[in-house]
Amino acid sequence: MTGSLEIDSVWSGYGEAMALKGASLSVEPGSVVALLGANGAGKSTMLRTITGQVRPRKGKVRFDGEDLVGLRPDQTLDRGIAHVLEGRQVFATMTVRQNLELGATKRGRAECAESIEMLFERFPILQEKEGQRAGQLSGGQQQMVAISRAFMSRPRLLLLDEPSLGLAPVMLPIVVELVNWARSVLGASVLIVEQYTSLALRVASYGYLLKNGSIVFEGRSDELSAGDALKNAYLSH
């Protein structure tokens, strides 16, 4: 199982406004990579460009050597890329189990049931709440459902957009556990977009710092934590 992502000199955005300006990054198979930056830096646009929600004006997007530019979101999902959107996006009136089953619509019934049982075994709270409407869950539980639903497609690359958004600090270990499980059990590569930098650098081994649409620094997580690059990106204009 692979999961290699290459973004090469991508310019992408909305209308005439370019949110990404020649940005490049890579995610090695089985690794967790953080994409950091202040609001408006272009982080979410990067994920939407990878999944085909936004088409780049210039540059290349490759997954396991295949060019993704021009593919629709459903086609990138078929290739093993799962995207957990900002804000959890659970189906509030559907049960936890129904939400999970939606993540495996292109897999057989037996595979779907097997994946659900595996999730229930690892995260018992999902089984405890399986018949409850997702909209009645706490924020942390909804985030667990949203990420677990992405697991149901057995992704080779998991894209997480601000998974800590709206969560109380006591719930943040859930995000850490889910990311570690995706990498160690599913063997997926992970690209996590996160403003809560200490969380991102806790789960990632490598990180990129995005500022005004351009990558201004990259390095190991300990290098990002120790240097002034983060402070400068968030505080300077």
Find the mean pLDDT for residues 126-148: 92
- For the segment 182-226, what is each residue's pLDDT rounded down to a tens digit? 998 889 999 999 888 888 999 999 999 999 999 999 999 988 887
pLDDT at 130 over 50: yes
- Residue type present at position 72: R
Find the mean pLDDT for residues 84-111: 89
- Rounded Cα gap, residues 211 and 23, in angstroms: 10
Q: What domains can be seen in the chain, in order of their start residue?
A: 5-92+156-235 (3.40.50.300)
- H-helix or E-strand spanning residue 24: strand 17-27
pTM across the whole model: 0.90
Yes or no: say if 217 and 209 are a contact pair by the CB < 8 Å rule: yes
pLDDT at 231 over 80: no
Q: Which ranges in the chain belong to alpha helices (H)?
A: 43-51, 73-78, 96-102, 109-122, 124-128, 139-151, 172-184, 197-203, 221-226, 229-235
Please give, one letter per residue, the 3-state secondary structure of 179-235: HHHHHHCCCCEEEEECCCHHHHHHHCCEEEEEECCEEEEEEEHHHHHHCCHHHHHHH
Structure tokens at 61: 């997007």
Structure confidence at residue 107 (pLDDT): 77
Find the mean pLDDT for residues 99-104: 93
Yes or no: say if 44 and 86 are a contact pair by the CB < 8 Å rule: yes
Structure confidence at residue 237 (pLDDT): 44
Structure tokens at 79: 């290739």
Look up residue 156 and give its DSSP letter. S
